[in-house]
Amino acid sequence: MGDPRRSHRPVEWLTLGMILGCYALWAGAIFFLADLTPVLAVLGTGVLIAWHASLAHEVLHGHPFANRALNEALMVLPLNLCIPYNRFRDLHLAHHRDSNLTDPYDDPESNYLDPAVWVSLPGWKRALLRANNTLLGRILLGPALGQVRFVCDDVRLARQGDRAVWLAWGLHLIQMAVVIFAVLMSSMSIWAYLVACYIGLALLKIRTFLEHQAHEQVRGRTVIIEDRGPLAFLFLNNNLHVVHHMNPTAPWYRLPSLYRAGKSRYQAVNDGYVYRSYAEVFSRYFWRAKDPVAHPYWSDR
């Protein structure tokens, strides 16, 4: 049975308003702004697609309603076209098994490879993955590489008869058709919309670039980025990522106050894996890799 206190939780009106506002702004961008300034419309739509993904993350963690069905109805339109909501939900919740963080096999959001797999790769693929481990590479290459890996994994699971994967993609194709129909009826070309989708996914790669690091202790694997600027809002405070992992049901707007109240504890928990801002992250890792591709502690496990 569910937690009765959670089932009677008030509606989080701010989050609900933001979800509805995101859809309204998206419609305005593709139907009206695209007529006035196509370039700005594509850029703005890309930002809204990234924001929608951040809001989807809130939904899968139980917001803004206490009722799961109502929450998931809010994500009926897959604005980024690429990721079925059900798959995002299931994989992300699996990622929240903190004992598996960065595991090349059991953490579905890990960017590390088993060292044995790494040494078996051809040189061109290793070069591509090394480039993907710089922030610039993650922004430019990450959406394509991530989507190829994601689809290949789901095709394999579907061939094995995974009904959840079949259901997720069946629903997604119907929902995706609605989004594509809306775009075709709008002032934005489908090609421009696909560029916007890539921009949205690229923005999300800034958030996920260093959310987790290889560390011998589980508690040291999750980052804090003390940013309070536009990217923090776009990512709904998930830059305070260890706070989110330790309080996964807390809404996005409570994360900063939770961090302020326990700053020293959170920084002790994650062994000082802290950056002051996204500006610091860009200055340190835009051109160079933060991590190796091969998991540095895998052979010790």
Q: 57 and 42, same structural domain?
A: yes
Q: 229 and 155, same structural domain?
A: no
29 forms beta bridges with: none
At 299 the pLDDT is: 67
Q: 257 and 227, same structural domain?
A: yes
CA distance 291 to 286: 13
Q: 205 and 112, same structural domain?
A: yes
- Please say whether the beta carbons of 252 and 141 come within 8 A: no
Last residue of a domain, one of 209, 232, 265: 209
CA distance 172 to 89: 13
Domain count, the chain: 2
Q: 53 and 149, same structural domain?
A: yes
Q: 228 and 127, same structural domain?
A: no
Enumerate residues 6+ apart whose C-beta is below 8 A from 136: 286, 287
Q: What is the pLDDT along the chain (301 residues), one digit of tens a residue?
A: 344 445 578 999 999 999 999 999 999 999 999 999 999 999 999 999 999 999 999 999 999 999 999 999 999 999 999 999 999 999 999 999 999 999 999 999 999 999 999 999 999 999 999 999 999 999 999 999 999 999 999 999 999 999 999 999 999 999 999 999 999 999 999 999 999 999 999 999 999 999 999 999 999 999 999 999 999 999 999 999 999 999 999 999 999 999 999 999 999 999 999 999 999 999 999 999 999 999 999 865 4
Q: 70 and 193, same structural domain?
A: yes
What are the pLDDT digits (tens) for 48-62?
A: 999 999 999 999 999
Last residue of a domain, one of 182, 209, 236: 209
Burial of residue 127 (number of CB atoms within 10 Å: 0-12, 13-18, 19+): exposed
Provide the whole-model pTM. Answer: 0.94
At 298 the pLDDT is: 86
The 10 Å CB-count burial string (b at 16+, else e) for 190-208 is: eebbebbbbbbbbbbbbbb
What are the pLDDT digits (tens) for 216-238?
A: 999 999 999 999 999 999 999 99
Burial of residue 241 (number of CB atoms within 10 Å: 0-12, 13-18, 19+): buried
Q: 266 and 147, same structural domain?
A: no
At 9 the pLDDT is: 82
Nearest to 19 by CA among 77, 61, 81: 77
Averaged pLDDT of the chain? 95
Q: 222 and 191, same structural domain?
A: no
